[in-house]
C-alpha cells in the first residue's frame, strides 16, 4: 500500500465525527443491566510506527482501567495495522488483517482515507483516537444492545493452540440481513522498546491488543433465545500467558458492520 494514502493524526488535526452513520467462565448480568443494554465495543486502530499512536494507546488503557467513571460499560479491542511498517519500525503486533478490518470501516463510514490512531465505536461512529472528549462522546452516544450469554470452555490441545467452545444464546434477534458472530482473542500488559522509527527511544505500553480474530457463526433470522454451540481454534504465539488474555464475543451485522451486542470473558490464569 502506498504511504500517501494514510495519515498519522494528532488530536486536533482533523474533525471528529461522532454522529455518522475444562475450565469455564461466563459473564452474568442483572435484569436491570439487560434492560439498559450491554457493553459498547470500542475499537482502536493504531501502530507503533505512528508518532501519535502512543498517546491514544495510553488513553485506551486508561479507559480500560475505568479512569473516566463512565456510566456505560465498554469492551475494548486494539488492532495494530501494518501500513506504517515501512517507516523504520515494524510493529510487533501489526497485521494486514487489521488493516483490512480498518478499510472495512473506512468504506462503511464513507471516509476519504485511513489514519491512525482511529477509534470506531459500535461499528457506527468514529473519531481520532487521541481525542479524549470525542471518544467519550462517541461512547456516551452509542446505542446499547443485550449482551450475548455464552459460557466458554477452554482447552489446550497442544502447547501451540487454544480451543474455545461456546454455548449459549445471542439475546438479540437477527433479521434476514444477518450477522457474523466474531471471537477475538486479546492480550494486555505488553511493553515494547522501540529502537527505530518515529517512536525511536520510547517505551510503549499496549493493552487489549487483538492477537486473533475469527468468525464462529454466520446467522440470519435467528431467534434471541435459541441455543448455539460451537468451537473455534486459535494458534498461539511465543510467550502466551493466559493471565494476560481474554476473549470478546461480538455480533456484527452484514453490510453495515454495526455491532449488536458483545461479551467479554477473561481466560483462566492457569490455562
Span 69-74, average pLDDT: 94
Tell me, what's the pLDDT at 242? 97
The alpha carbon dihedral of 30, 264, 204, 130 has a sign of negative
Rounded (10°) angle between helices 53-65 and 132-140: 40
Calpha distance 134→60 (Å, rounded)? 13
Pairing of strands 203-206, 149-155: unpaired
Given pLDDT bands bounded at 50, 70 and 90, which one contains residue 234? very high
Q: What angle do CA 52, 131, 266 make, to 5 degrees?
A: 85
In what helix (H) or strand (E) does residue 185 lie, and over which residues does it extend? strand 179-187
Tell me, what's the pLDDT at 37? 87
- Could you report the per-residue pLDDT of 105-135, keeping only the tens digit for each? 999 999 999 999 999 999 999 999 999 999 9
Span 1-24, average pLDDT: 48
Given pLDDT bands bounded at 50, 70 and 90, which one contains residue 6? confident
Calpha distance 196→179 (Å, rounded)? 41
Closest CA to 170 of 219, 116, 120, 132: 219
Amino acid at each position: 500500500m502506498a504511504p500517501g494514502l494514510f495519515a498519522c493524526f494528532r488530536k486536533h488535526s482533523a474533525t471528529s465525527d461522532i454522529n455518522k452513520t475444562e475450565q469455564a467462565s461466563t459473564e452474568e448480568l442483572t435484569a436491570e443491566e439487560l434492560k439498559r443494554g450491554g457493553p459498547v465495543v470500542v475499537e482502536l486502530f493504531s501502530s507503533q510506527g505512528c508518532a501519535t499512536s502512543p498517546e491514544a494507546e495510553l488513553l485506551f488503557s486508561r479507559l480500560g482501567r475505568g479512569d473516566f467513571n463512565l456510566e456505560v460499560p465498554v469492551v475494548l479491542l486494539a488492532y495494530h495495522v501494518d501500513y506504517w511498517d515501512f517507516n523504520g519500525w515494524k510493529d510487533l503486533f501489526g497485521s494486514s488483517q487489521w488493516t483490512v478490518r480498518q478499510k472495512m470501516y473506512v468504506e462503511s463510514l464513507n471516509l476519504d482515507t485511513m489514519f491512525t490512531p482511529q477509534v470506531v465505536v459500535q461499528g457506527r461512529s468514529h473519531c481520532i483516537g487521541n481525542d479524549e472528549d470525542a471518544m467519550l462522546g462517541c461512547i456516551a452516544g452509542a446505542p446499547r444492545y443485550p449482551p450475548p450469554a455464552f459460557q466458554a470452555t477452554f482447552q489446550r490441545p497442544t502447547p501451540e493452540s487454544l480451543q474455545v467452545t461456546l454455548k449459549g444464546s445471542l439475546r438479540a434477534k437477527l433479521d434476514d440481513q444477518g450477522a457474523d458472530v466474531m471471537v477475538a482473542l486479546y492480550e494486555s500488559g505488553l511493553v515494547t522498546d522501540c529502537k527505530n522509527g518515529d517512536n525511536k527511544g520510547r517505551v510503549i505500553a499496549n493493552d487489549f491488543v487483538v492477537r486473533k480474530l475469527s468468525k464462529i457463526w454466520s446467522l440470519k433470522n435467528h431467534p434471541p433465545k435459541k441455543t448455539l454451540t460451537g468451537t473455534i481454534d486459535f494458534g498461539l504465539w511465543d510467550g502466551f500467558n493466559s493471565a494476560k488474555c481474554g476473549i470478546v464475543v461480538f455480533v456484527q451485522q452484514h453490510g453495515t458492520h454495526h455491532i449488536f451486542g458483545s461479551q467479554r470473558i477473561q481466560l483462566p490464569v492457569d490455562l
